[in-house]
Amino acid sequence: MEEKTYACFLGCVIPNRYPGIELSTVKMLRELGVESVDMPGAGCCPAPGVFGSFDLKTWLALAARNICIAEELGCDIMTMCNGCYGSLQEADHLLKGDPLLKDKVNEILAPEMEYKGTINVKHQVEIFTDDIGIERIKEAITMPLDGLRVGVHYGCHFLKPSAVRGHGKAERPGMVDALVEVTGAKSVEYKDKMMCCGFGGGVRTRDIEVALDITKEKITNMLDAGVDCTVNPCASCHLQFDRGQVEIEHIFGDRFNLPVLYYSQLLGLAMGHDPRELGMHKQNIPTDPVLDKVEGLK
């Protein structure tokens, strides 16, 4: 594998709510031979469905500013949240495809910055799957998570709109399932697996009951299928499931206690790391049931 260094794009939820995601991703990637560097001064991506809904031009300019920081570093961007990925990848796609739009955005960015279109935006899942590859991950597994039943949640903006993202059709994807199953865990089929978590499009901010009702349905479906935890590749979905369960209890009175793991946390466990090194103890819903399930984890 070619040694590659990515510009690590943090966004908001990861550094400011779930630093365990940043910690575990950077650590696992490094152990698998992928380096990442900070993106000094990066900010909100900004959320494609939220800021994009308010004013697409502002959304695009702010996203372009973030991309410019990586262009300065000369690195492709690595994202750990479907929202960040969606935002930056879509902005990059639009700007690369429309020179006039690029000029308009550069007018806003001037004089200090200029979007050039020299780098690509990647999702963490792509890096694990394409750069590193399943085989290499398999070799790094020291603590197989045999017997662990996982409800995989893809989230929406990693795959959709498929015409822009280019990862194929989004109805029955397999990339994240493959990444989960290489750890020894089982990706369990459950009803409406590809349904949204409820976070996006500003619904969480504006109408949290609607957002949480969606989250609740997903959690119920996963539990009905007998999962031990849910695993996601998206910081926003992660927040919606983890923080969301506290809110669901508060608003609807239902208590689920479904452990929520970010993918690199699951991988970290399988690669022999202590859950505390992965920030798993700093979440709202205890992840202990996962540790109890797999012998040798505690």
Partner 1 sequence: MPVIKSIIRLNDLDTNFVDEVIETGSEVFGEEIPKTIMACMQCGRCSGSCPSGRRTAFRTRKIYREVVLGFREKVLSSDELWYCTTCYTCQERCPRGVKTTEIIRILRNIAAKEGYMSKSHKMAAGHVFRTGHAVAINEEIQNVREELGLSRLPPTTHSHPEALAKLQDILRKTHFDELVGFDWETMELKEV
Partner 2 sequence: MNIGVYVCHCGTNIAGVIDVEKVTEYATTLDGVVVARNYKYMCSDPGKDLIRSDIKENNLDRVVVAACSPTMHEKTYRDVMEEMGGNPFLFEMANIREQDSWVHTDKDMATEKAYDLVRMAVAKVRRNEPLERIEIPVTQRALIIGGGVAGMEASLDLAEQGYEVIMVEKEQSIGGHMSQLTKTFPTLDCPMCILAPKMALHEHKNITIYSFSEIEEVSGYVGNFEVSIRKKAKSVIEDLCNGCGLCQEKCPTKVLSVYDGKLGTRKAIYTLFPQAVPRIPVLDRENCLMFTKGTCGVCKKVCPTDAIDYDQQDEIITEKVGAIIVATGYAEYDPTPIEEYGYGRYKNVLTGLQFERLTNASGPTLGVLKRPSDGATPKRFAFIQCVGSRDVNTQEYCSKVCCMYTVKNARLLRDEHPESEVYIFYTDVRSAGKGYEEFYKISQEKGVKFIRGRVSEVVGLPDDNLLLRTEDTLTGDVYEVEVDMAILACALLPAEGSDKLRDILKISEGTDGFFMEAHPKLRPVDTLTDGIYLAGCAQGPRDIADTVVHAKGAASGASVLISHTKMSLDPISAYSDESVCRGCGECKLVCQFGAIEIEPLNGRLIAKVNEVLCKGCGACVGACCNGAMSIRHFKDEQINSMIEAAMEVA
Q: Contact between 210 and partner 2 (CB under 8 A)?
A: no
Residue 13 token pair? 């939820």
Q: Which of 41, 172, 255, 295 binds partner 2 (CB under 8 A)?
A: 172
Q: Which of 30, 103, 206, 226 binds partner 1 (CB under 8 A)?
A: 206
Is 141 or 194 the residue whose CB approaches partner 1 more closely?
Answer: 194
Report if residue 191 touches partner 2, rule: CB under 8 A: yes
Q: What are the CA-CA distances from residue 6 to residues 24, 26, 234 (Å)?
A: 15, 10, 18
**Is 174 a residue that touches partner 2 (CB under 8 A)?**
no
The item of partner 2, partner 1, none sharing an interface with residue 109, based on CB under 5 to 8 Å by kind, is partner 1
Q: Candidates 3, 135, 171, 295: give the one binding partner 1 (CB under 8 A).
A: 171
In whole angstroms, the minimum distance from the beta carbon of 290 to partner 2 comes to 25
Long-range contact set of residues 173-180: C-beta below 8 Å, sequence gap at least 24 = 175/125, 175/129, 176/125, 176/152, 176/231, 176/233, 176/263, 177/152, 178/129, 178/134, 179/125, 179/128, 179/129, 179/134, 179/137, 179/263, 179/267, 180/150, 180/152, 180/231, 180/263, 180/266
Give the angle subtended at the CA of 189 by the CAs of 127 and 220, to the nearest 5°: 105
Site membership for partner 1, residue 101 (CB under 8 A): yes
Position among 4, 33, 106, 108 found at the interface with partner 1 (CB under 8 A): 108
Which of 192, 249, 274, 292 touches partner 2 by CB under 8 A? Answer: 192
Residue 196: how many other CB atoms lie within 10 Å: 21
Amino acid at the residue 81: C
Local structure of residue 248 (DSSP, 8 states): H
With CB cut-offs between 5 and 8 Å by kind, which of partner 2, partner 1, none does residue 156 bind? partner 1
34-38: strand order across its sheet: 34-38, 4-9, 77-79, 121-123
| Contact between 168 and partner 2 per CB under 8 A | no
Tell me whether the omega of the peptide bond preceding residue 46 falls within 30 degrees of 0, making it cis.
yes
Q: Rounded distance, CA 298 to CA 292, Å?
A: 7
By CB under 8 A, tell whether 112 contacts partner 1: yes
Which residues contact partner 1 by CB under 8 A? Answer: 10, 12-13, 15-17, 19-20, 22-23, 38-44, 46-58, 60-62, 65, 69, 94, 98, 101, 108-109, 112-113, 156-157, 160-162, 169-171, 194-196, 198-203, 205-207, 210-211, 213-214, 217, 279, 282
Which residues contact partner 2 by CB under 8 A? Answer: 169, 171-172, 191-192
